[in-house]
Amino acid sequence: FHANKVFLVIKPLKANSSTKVKVFLDGKLVNNISAGEDVRDGEVLVNEDRLYNLIDLKGITSDHILKLEFENSGTEIFAFTFG
C-alpha cells in the first residue's frame, strides 16, 4: 500500500465473541509507533463489527507491505480504506 493510514472493516465470527488479528508491517509485527489506535502490541482485538484503525504512520506517506494473520477462521473482512 502507499498511504499514511490503513483502516479495515472487520466482523468477528459470531455476535458477542472476539478474536485477535496480528498486524505486520513490512514483514515485522507492527510496533506501537506505527500502529493504528486499535492495535496493541501488534494485535487487534475484534469484538464487534466496525471500522478498525490498523496503521498510522503519523503523516508519513510511503510504500509498505501489510500482512494480517487471523486467530480464528470465519472472521469476516469487508473494506480496506486508506488515508
35-82 per-position pLDDT tens digit = 999 999 999 999 999 999 999 999 999 999 999 999 988 899 999 999
Mapped onto helix, strand or coil, the DSSP state of residue 83 is coil
| Predicted local confidence at residue 14, as pLDDT | 85
Q: Is the pTM of this model over 0.75?
A: yes
DSSP letters spanning 6-49: EEEEEE-SSTT--EEEEEEETTEEPPTTTB-TTEETTEEEE-SS
Radius of gyration of the chain (CA): 12
